[in-house]
Amino acid sequence: LKGGTCPLTEQWEIYVAEKKRRGHKKTLYDHSASERENIIADCGGRSFVSNQVNNWVFRKLVYEYEKMTNLSKPLRGELDSHFPIVTGHIEKTLTSADDTRKALVRYPDGTGVECVSIPSDKRVTFCISTMAGCPGRCLFCASGKHGFIRNLSRGEMLSQYLLLSESINDYPANTVLMGSGEPLLNFDETRGFLFILNDQKLADLGARRITVSTIGIPEGIIRLAEEELQFEIAFSLHHPDEKQRRKLIPLSRKYPLAAVIEALLVYRRKTNRVPTFEYCLLEGINDTLQCAHKTARLAKRVRAKVNLIPYNTFCDDFRPPDRDTVFTFRGILEQEGVTATIRRQRGADIDAACGQLAGRR
């Protein structure tokens, strides 16, 4: 059995990848606030040093201890050798005609992931990867085509955020977890990263400025709802018919649509946030009038809005529908009383648009 099609082979690959990852040096922010204070105390720092480091990292765009001039030299050296703030480096950056910037971040074990900064008006949104590769194996997605490599730690996700901030000399106004990976299948590390983003002493991004995108992992959606924080949630529907959806998103066969809808209802009730259905429009596959009506019915059940994403071509298997079909689809949703938007394509010329991130060398 080749290509990870055997469940045992897949489990073994995940086990080996995790073991390898755990052997890595953790970053300072892989640790909780109290652990960071203990680490700094063990390295000879006073109790206020933790706040000083946070200020450098999250207010002044400084990630090298060497440049943290209000820390003693021995402390800087000690922290630098054992608890780096950023792991990995930007190996390559591509900037699109619309100023969208895609960075390939290479971690010390050689794993590469892509992350994107997307400017609009005066605000910038970062798109962060939560896994290298993805077990989702969605047929229309570059990350899925390459299969799962390994989970990323919260420190590795933060490294993408900080390296991108450094590259644009600013922090983002919004962050979306829509790069490669299924965030809710890497729940603990994703949760840790979300809390770093939302912490007022750290990145200080309001929960409503952070979006978690998922193919619909009911257990993960409910666990996130239990945090009772108002993170935005984007559910990748892509087809309203369960059988067809399983073909497009093979991993979804483990998570029945009915259970996902129930979980989204819980999410809505606990957080008071309106879920978004992401819908990648593929010509002749999911762009029919019938699909539009079925999608409207599902959206109305959770009072979700729908974001239509005409397919960003990365392989010849699919094509985006023509403009009229996209607008007709949106028209039907609106007639049925569902708020629907069409996502503007960003960064397609550098393969940074939705579904095009792959972490290729």
The binding track of 284-323 with respect to ligand SF4, each residue x by CB under 6 A or -, is ----------------------------------------
Q: Please provide the DSSP assignment of 172-201 as one string.
A: -SEEEE-SSS-GGGSHHHHHHHHHHHH-TT
Q: From 21-29, 92-100, 130-138, 199-207, give the range in contact with ligand SF4 by CB under 6 A.
A: 130-138
CB of 253 to ligand SF4, least distance (A): 13
Q: From 19-27, 31-39, 175-183, 196-204, give the range in contact with ligand SF4 by CB under 6 A.
A: 175-183
Q: From 59-67, 141-149, 196-204, 265-273, give the range in contact with ligand SF4 by CB under 6 A.
A: 141-149
> Which CB atom, from 36 or from 150, has the smaller least distance to ligand SF4?
150
Instruction: Pick from 27, 111, 143, 190 the residue near ligand SF4 by CB under 6 A.
Output: 143
Q: From 22-30, 77-85, 174-182, 329-337, give the range in contact with ligand SF4 by CB under 6 A.
A: 174-182
Instruction: Pick from 180, 190, 198, 356 the residue near ligand SF4 by CB under 6 A.
Output: 180
- Confirm whether 354 is a catalytic residue: yes
Torsion angle defined by CA atoms of residues 78, 80, 82 and 84, in that order, rounded to the nearest 10 degrees: 150
Amino acid identity of residue 36, one-letter, is: R
- Confirm whether 114 is a catalytic residue: yes
Closest to 130 in 3D by CA, of 210, 205, 189, 89: 189
Which element (helix H / strand E) includes 65? none
CB of 134 to ligand SF4, least distance (A): 3
- Burial of residue 225 (CB within 10 Å: 0-12, 13-18, 19+) is buried
Instruction: Pick from 182, 189, 232, 351 the residue near ligand SF4 by CB under 6 A.
Output: 182
- Bridge partners of residue 280, in order along the sequence: 309
Beta strand pairing status for 340-342 and 305-310?
parallel
Does position 45 interact with ligand SF4 (CB under 6 A)? The reply is: no
- Go through the chain and tell me how many residues it has: 361
CB of 313 to ligand SF4, least distance (A): 15
Does position 358 interact with ligand SF4 (CB under 6 A)? The reply is: no
CB of 261 to ligand SF4, least distance (A): 18
CB of 178 to ligand SF4, least distance (A): 8
Q: Please provide the DSSP assignment of 158-173 as one string.
A: HHHHHHHHHHHTS--S
Does position 215 interact with ligand SF4 (CB under 6 A)? The reply is: yes
The rounded Cα 210 to chain-centroid distance in angstroms is: 10
Amino acid identity of residue 54, one-letter, is: N
Residue 207: C-alpha distances to residues 154, 162, 194, 233, 348 (Å): 17, 18, 8, 11, 28
Of the candidates 78, 114, 156, 189, the residue annotated as catalytic is 114
CB of 1 to ligand SF4, least distance (A): 21
Does position 141 interact with ligand SF4 (CB under 6 A)? The reply is: yes
| Residues within window 144-163 making contact with ligand SF4, judged by CB under 6 A | 144
E-assigned strands of the chain? 89-95, 101-106, 112-120, 123-127, 131-133, 148-151, 174-177, 210-214, 232-236, 276-281, 305-310, 340-342
CB of 285 to ligand SF4, least distance (A): 15
Does position 134 interact with ligand SF4 (CB under 6 A)? The reply is: yes
d(CA 181, CA 178): 8
Q: Which residues bind ligand SF4 (CB under 6 A)?
A: 134, 136-138, 141, 143-144, 180-182, 215, 355
Active centre residues (catalytic): 114, 354
